[in-house]
Structure 1
């Protein structure tokens, strides 16, 4: 029976970090559904059984590996000053820079053969992050009659849609250009 190690144990953190890194490197190269637990374990330099000590299955590991990236992306979306007029906010450009820097991975995760669980989790985290400023009144003018949670879900879905479209473009537009188009859509919605 595998040793049960407390969450805060440095060995647990190192092992999970190594597993997350391995799955992200593999997912940049090919469809996440084709990645096996054995390949992840080999790249992370752990034994296959160790993966199952830390994760239920491969999908659980992939989602955990992407959780930090999803959180970073959602924080950028929530940091936009939706109520204020003005130029494209830096957090929105940073959001697209973040995606652009990890384009192969996001392209695979959001593409036609990507992960429905990833897409759903991305929308969920984006909506949750947006709900906070939207509830506090920081959303585009003219939408105060729409419940904040519905508006947050709408903008989250729109952002995922724009990101998915942008990643499919060949070649993709610069991050600043897609951020400006997105800002116009969000502010005018």
Structure 2
């Protein structure tokens, strides 16, 4: 994979931070490209060199976070439930500002993020449904996946909004135990 120019990385980080900061202050729908440019201390034209509009910028930002989670998914499949969730909760803690903004702000941006996160989680859970023990034999896969995915995303949201009252390891253990019972 080609190495990204440091100036581009610096610009993209400034834009990411600007969008997240602005979204913590007002609805995404009310944020303008000029607001983002001013906050990032960049020219509007610089934003348009990288993104079509603010929605493209947000979409790429969300893609980046989902892709990082997807990279973790490959490793997690080989672990038991508890151990698999530790790196996720560490990641949510390390990226607290992003996740708290995206899960608590109003407007189309956060709603879109929550939908994307839920779809990603459900896709990851698809291969985890236990059909061999018989505990899910009379349940629809769609219902199981919606239940487990919505519960997991809801717990992430609750944990972040509540100020992360439990360490990542404790959350991983409890969430792992609950999802193991469900899936």
Q: Which band: TM-score by shorter chain?
A: 0.7 to 0.9
Gaps of 5+ in 2: none
Q: Is the Cα contact below 8 Å between 2:81 and 2:177 reproduced in 1? A: no
1:160 aligns with 2:157: no
Cα distance in structure 2, aligned partners of 1:20 and 1:159:
30
Mean CA deviation greater in 166-175 or 96-105? 166-175
Structure 1 residues 164 and 79: CA distance shift in structure 2, 3 A: same
1:20 aligns with 2:12: yes
Match of 1:177 in 2: 170
1:130 aligns with 2:122: no
Match of 1:57 in 2: 53
Q: What whole-Å deviation, never above 9, does each CA across 1:39-76 have from its counterpart, x for those lacking one?
A: 43356665313423543321321221132222222454
Aligned length: 172
Q: What whole-Å deviation, never above 9, does each CA across 1:70-101 have from its counterpart, x for those lacking one?
A: 2222454565459x8x6712x31100100000
What secondary structure is seen at the aligned counterpart in 1 of 2:125? helix
Structure 2 length-normalised TM: 0.72
Q: Is the Cα contact below 8 Å between 1:19 and 1:40 reproduced in 2? A: no
Q: What whole-Å deviation, never above 9, does each CA across 1:116-150 have from its counterpart, x for those lacking one?
A: 1111111122223333xx1xxx4345235545455
Q: Is the Cα contact below 8 Å between 1:96 and 1:179 reproduced in 2? A: yes
Q: Is the Cα contact below 8 Å between 2:100 and 2:161 reproduced in 1? A: yes
TM-align CA RMSD: 3.4
1:88 to 78, 82, 92: 82
Higher relative contact order (CA 8 A, sep 6+): 2
Cα distance in structure 2, aligned partners of 1:173 and 1:31:
26
